[in-house]
Structure 1
Amino acid sequence: MKTYSFNLDFFNQLYYRFIYGVTLFILLLGSVFKHLWLNHSLIIFILFIIPYVSYFTVSFVTFHIIRLHKYRLWFILVAGVALLIWVYPIVKWYYYSFLTAHGVVFYFPWKDGDAQKLFIIIVRGLAFVLLFLALDTVLWQKRQKIIKINELELAVKDISDNALLSGHFLFKLYQFAAEKKIVFDLKVLDFFQYIINKIASRNSRVALAEEWAYLKQLVVMCVHRSIEIKGEELVTDYIWNRSVPTLSLMTWIENAVSYSPIGKTIPIVIEWIRQKDAIVFTVRNRIACSTEGKGTGKGLELVNRLFEPLQEDHVNVTYRIEEEMYFVVELKFMD
């Protein structure tokens, strides 16, 4: 069975474009018929332009219904002719009968030749409306094209950066294993397989819950470091379901292990902190003197680039140095 759905973004965009078009149209009418609002009350000007605005509205809706259903171009011309035939008697009645009956006179009495003049006015109105609709459509399509190109560029960049980060993380993990910084057993092999699968799938984002589960596996594997986890119970299901770049949190742990003092004396602290309108994930490690100036910062740079598109989802990353000896990563999820 065929189903129909409404593209809400399309209608939202049309709503704003209609408001813009009506505003521009009214300003143009105000310029052409400025003697009305200069010499009379505002209500007189409003009564005068009601047919124009109504005509614009009907034309706008008709045009976009035709576009939405992807009818042929000639259908627009047929609709335009139908509007002319339909509008003429209504406009004549409004100006020459309805308003005059209520004491508002713009064109009275009806004279020979008025039919042609009124028809010319209506044709000019339709021509302006069609010109505006054509210009609006061309500019909107151009804007949509730019947006789609930018989205495609971001998606390609996102995938590329994620592949680089995956490779960087896999290399660092292998170094840990070679230097015996992690216990090499079947769980570690499974962990390696997970990283390889992520590289193969090119899935640039995962649920926070999935990233956190593998982060805790990494913490367990790092037996030569003291790593504390605090505040996990503060995280809600809504936050666990938020998306993060694949391997991003684990890269911060890898960075903390790589550049903190050897041994278990000074712990690396992973903590969830509840704020008024956000939950904050932090990683805090003491900076080892022997590693100052050693790192390239490649991993952190890649993570930063992967989080840039998520700023619109109210996810922010910051780095800072505390007391000139601690490196702190903060990942903030706004509620």
Structure 2
Amino acid sequence: MELRHLRYFVAVAEELSFRKAAQRLNVSRPALSKQVKDLEDEMGVKLLERDTVSVTLTKAGEIFLEDSQQLLHDAEHSIQRAKEAQAGHRGKLRIGSVGVIATDFLPKTLKVFHQKFPGVEVEFVEMMPNDQMHALYKGKIDIGFAYGREVENLPNLSSLCVIHSIFGIALSRQHPLAAKKKITLKELRSETLFCLAGEGRSSHKEAICKIYSAEGTKPTKHRKIEGFDSMVTLIAADQGISFLPHVMDLANQDIAIVPIDANQADLDFHMWAVWDGEAATHHVKHFMQLLEERVQGSTNLPQLESDVVSIRDYQTAI
């Protein structure tokens, strides 16, 4: 039994005429009659009473008509959903979590995406940036985020720079240094320096170490903190300081981010959206297009001379 058998039967049952049903389906009357007879033979059930004048439904035919109409409706609905999924209008988009730093560009992009593609479910997967790259390769997420410049070493992945900022000193607004225009590393000698610790957070510590190393000095006191929220709370309570990008809006946390007075250190901070460009589904491509438009049109991102927002494809073999 095929869908065409159901379509032929439904047409005859609704028209109660083989001639009208054949015209409706644009098939010959003998071919239509044969298809309906084949359906009855396959089922072992008589669906229609026929004579030279009229066609009527049997009791079995009445029941089968209702079910056939529903089956055809469901089939058309399934076909439409499949077409929408192929076009990127249905499905699921899995994004690696990025935390507070994405509060500017990500929610607004998601809002526009949902308006354009309401049939696509967006799921955020909690994991560290390092884990997100592995998850991308394994197909567990569709879009991930990475910090620093290490995206240049990620083979077979495409990337978009979503944030280009510079590191500053994060400290309590009540701290004596908070009012300064710039802070040197020497002025931080008596401060407790917080570094994010734990699996997947090594990039924060590495960035801080590079800044100190470039200036030929080392922090005198440092402390590892497991979570970002915990670190922010401790900084706001004037228990220590840390290095965070200026793009982070922590004013409501009673934290100031003051520029660093450093001549040699590379203070650039980059965050990248990363995805598998070759295997990307239509809704991934649609989302990344919206994200790129959002980033390029944002007025909240710092306009640095070296700020280049573009898509890069890294095709290096694994």
Specify the TM-score bucket, using the shorter chain as the normaliser: under 0.3
Hey, which of these two has a bigger chunk of helix by percent?
Answer: 1
TM-score where L is the length of structure 2 = 0.26
**Structure having greater relative contact order (Cα 8 Å, sep ≥ 6):** 2
TM-score where L is the length of structure 1 = 0.25
